[in-house]
Structure 1
Amino acid sequence: MAMHQAGGSSEDESSPMADINVTPLVDVMLVLLIVFMVTAPMMLVGVPVQLPRTAAARIAANTPPLVVTVAPGGQIYIAQELVPEAELGARITALRTGEAEDAAVHVCGDRTVPYGEVLRVLGRVRAAGVTRVSLVAEAEAVPAAAAAH
């Protein structure tokens, strides 16, 4: 055992520090958490519309679908891009070439849009050769009394 000099330190001041400082790691993780919390709502695809409600269960998808939206004014969007109705079929065909050829198309129509307009858009999607087409709706709120049975 070595004897220490009186008044001297037990460690040499030039030796490396053995403690791990986790404060910078925690700071970086909290900043990343805040960034993801702020940007996650902005990652939604499509135009915001008020979807009709339904009690049907959700369908799981392997590939992300192509979203066609009929906005309250009757405008048609693919994702967030405004598309004239006459060009809808050609645009869908162009977007579904290559890897996305088997991708489904989801048609979203605002509640205020007449059902006939949504079906007309659905018909144009089907005319473009799409076989997997779905209408999108919000899940209906189930009353507590009905959920118990």
Structure 2
Amino acid sequence: MNQGYQRKRRRPVAEINVVPYIDVMLVLLIIFMVTAPIVTQGVKVELPQGNAEPLPADSKPPVIASIDAQGEYFLDVGGAPSQQPLTLDEVATRVAAIIQLEPERPVVVKGDRAIPYENVIQLMVTLQGAGVPSVGLMTDSPDKESK
């Protein structure tokens, strides 16, 4: 019959097309570049200066309870600061939930230098009442220039 017709066999191609992966990577890069400045925003606080030991590099990101110059409270959990001011009860409730899930997570207070000492102590007492075993205080290093 068809003896002159021979079927050619194709050899499998062992190449990976990486163009779609590069496209996805570039889109993700653009998304991260756009969202990074939004994530790093926080509450503007003028920290007092002092020589203090930083948190260990291997520790979890701290929960930061902030008091701004107007005496309003904010909470920053892992780089996601609250945009609306919170009451002391709301701060205590949120921190208690976080500490219940992650008891080893550090908690620090970031208080503006213009805030009365009483407000900082009140926040620290509230945090300890919420179950935080120890509360740290954030400071700026003395050699850092004020903005």
Class of the TM-score when normalised by the shorter of the 2 chains: 0.5 to 0.7
Report sequence identity in percent.
33
- The verdict on how the C-alpha distance between 1:42 and 1:140 changes in structure 2, with shifts beyond 3 A counting, is farther
Structure 1 gaps of 5+ residues are: 1-27, 143-149
SS at the partner of 2:74? strand
Partner of 1:129: 131
Kindly indicate whether residue 43 of structure 2 is the aligned counterpart of residue 47 of structure 1.
Answer: yes
Partner of 1:12: none
TM-score, normalisation: structure 2: 0.64
Matches within 5 A, 1:1-149: 39-44=35-40, 46-60=42-56, 62-79=59-76, 80=82, 81-97=84-100, 99-141=101-143
- The verdict on how the C-alpha distance between 1:138 and 1:42 changes in structure 2, with shifts beyond 3 A counting, is farther
- RMSD of the TM alignment (CA)? 3.4
Number of paired residues?
130
Of 46-55 and 63-72, the range deviating more from structure 2: 46-55
SS at the partner of 1:88? helix
* Structure (1/2) with the larger helix percentage: 1
Structure label with greater radius of gyration: 1
Structure 2 gaps of 5+ residues are: 1-23, 77-81
